[in-house]
Amino acid sequence: MRRLLAALIFVLAAAPVLAVTVTDDRGVAVELRQPPRRIVTLLPSLGETVCALGACDRLVGVDDYANWPASVQSLPRVGGVDDPRIERIVGLQPDLVLLSSTSRALGRLQALGLPVMGFDIKTLADVRRVLAGVADALQVGGAEAVWQRIGAGVDAAARSVPRERRGTTVYFEVSSGPYAASESSHIGEILARLGAVNVVPGRLGTVPLLNPEFVVRADPQVIMAWQRDAAALAARPGWPRIRALREGRVCRFTAEQGDVLARPGPRLADAAQLMADCLAGRLAEHR
């Protein structure tokens, strides 16, 4: 037994130092013989994570919706949420593909012999875990530093909310339906850090489809929504009664701001600042 152990230790020590095994969110252990140099990401937040870790130069392909930092906009596009272009991805000869753990491309790329890592990112804890996982895979440090920066940014945003605006009740609409960002979504978690009160409880799921009557009853002081959906809010039955609409405290986020808010990634400090500005009335459109 002891001899076996010694042999095992010898074998492990003899292995190249650069080989690393990382586990992704599916619980699959991925072995990387050397630090990946050619990375393809299939989710905007994952591309942003790689760049935040200072490895932007290792990206060789990104998904159709990646637009930050500006340098990724010149990279080859390899498809969208449900239509990854497998051939294009293989053609780029990546030594690591990062994508959503629910993506249909996972199995296909794996079968083609590409190292893939699937991530499931919904909450702040997920963001931290994914930062660490990607940093391990790339064999770079700095994941904790990025996380600290995000935390400090969120704290600074919270300090910029005037004291009398603490405890403001908020309804955040992710999509007309209406689908809301609840307390348990990353948006809800940041709102809580800013001292706001989300009217949609976390037990309903991260992005529940609500009975519109619920929002009328909750009567939030502030509504946050995308510009696209905000125009139609006042036309919903009973909604003109809501305080936020009566007092003109509806924040309409542009598509660009929407990307910052909706992507659970390294730009969450900016997302927090946007929501803080909204709470403080620096964004709200007074009608």
Residues at the interface with another protein (CB under 8 A): 65, 80-83, 174-179, 204-205, 207-214, 216-217, 226-229, 231-232, 235-238, 241, 252, 255, 258
The pair of structure tokens assigned to 282 is 């620096």
CB of 276 to another protein, least distance (A): 23
Which residue, 110 or 176, is less far from another protein as judged by CB? 176
| Buried/exposed code over 126-165 (b: 16+ C-beta within 10 A; e: otherwise) | bbbbbbebbbbbbeeebbeebbeebbebbeebbeebeeeb
Which residue, 71 or 227, is less far from another protein as judged by CB? 227
Q: Measuring CA to CA, which residue among 153, 126, 123 is closest to residue 269?
A: 153
Q: DSSP states of 86-132 as a string?
A: HHHHHHT--SEEEEETT-THHHHHHHTT--EEEE---SHHHHHHHHH
Which residue, 80 or 141, is less far from another protein as judged by CB? 80
Which residue, 38 or 179, is less far from another protein as judged by CB? 179
**What 3-state class would DSSP assign to 184?**
coil
CB of 165 to another protein, least distance (A): 25
The strand pair at 39-41 and 29-32 is best described as unpaired
Q: Which residues pair with 40 in a beta bridge?
A: 61, 97
Q: Measuring CA to CA, which residue among 164, 199, 169, 193 is closest to residue 280?
A: 164
CB of 77 to another protein, least distance (A): 13
CB of 177 to another protein, least distance (A): 4
Which residue, 160 or 179, is less far from another protein as judged by CB? 179
Which residue, 195 or 212, is less far from another protein as judged by CB? 212
Q: Measuring CA to CA, which residue among 203, 185, 210 is closest to residue 263?
A: 185
d(CA 155, CA 142): 20
What is the biggest distance separating any 2 CA atoms in the chain, rounded to whole angstroms?
A: 80
CB of 79 to another protein, least distance (A): 10
Which residue, 9 or 232, is less far from another protein as judged by CB? 232
CB of 171 to another protein, least distance (A): 12
CB of 242 to another protein, least distance (A): 11
The pair of structure tokens assigned to 37 is 């140099």
